[in-house]
Structure 1
Amino acid sequence: MPGLLRGIARTAAVAGTATAVHGRIQRRQDAKFAQRDAETAAKRDEAYAEQTAPPPAPVAAAPVAPPPSATSDRLDQLKTLGELKQSGVLTDAEFEAQKAKILAG
């Protein structure tokens, strides 16, 4: 009978030690996973805040001078063309051809 009690006592000591070690490992893992979950939640919240933040106000660009109008360019070209015709440099046919090009462009 003393051998049986000694065996039971040894089994109880081993089981108690195993339970204590297991409990300590479990607590360490729980703490590690809790820290990892907190970091993941913080990153997720930060990403969500970036996505839902209103876009920054657009920066006003310097005003751009409007390009010269095509109409005024055409008028100037037609005036020059008319002056060339009046001075005799262009014939009527040449005048009409150049005028058609200006008005088509």
Structure 2
Amino acid sequence: MPGLLRGVARTAVVAGTATAVSNRVTRRQQGRWAAQQGYGEYSPEPPAAAAPSAPDMTDKIEQLKQLGELRTQGVLTEAEFEEQKRRLLQA
């Protein structure tokens, strides 16, 4: 049973990380397209530089909390926790 839970937890972490990366790529693409079109039809000013990083940081903090909970519950080992944390913070 613990093996099954560990597998489910890993899948959840990977899926969460993939979602965060996908969202980041989408925001980057939208920013590039907006820059090519003169900041878009409806916005006469360039997008704020700090705005995209705030949701990214919020997502990372939430994922770190989830990883910590999984470690506390014994679903992730300390080594698995550290590896997932490293991957998350490098993304």
TM range (shorter): 0.3 to 0.5
Structure 2 length-normalised TM: 0.42
Higher-Rg structure is: 1
Give the structure-1-normalised TM-score: 0.37
Q: Which has the higher contact order (CA 8 A, sep 6+)?
A: 2
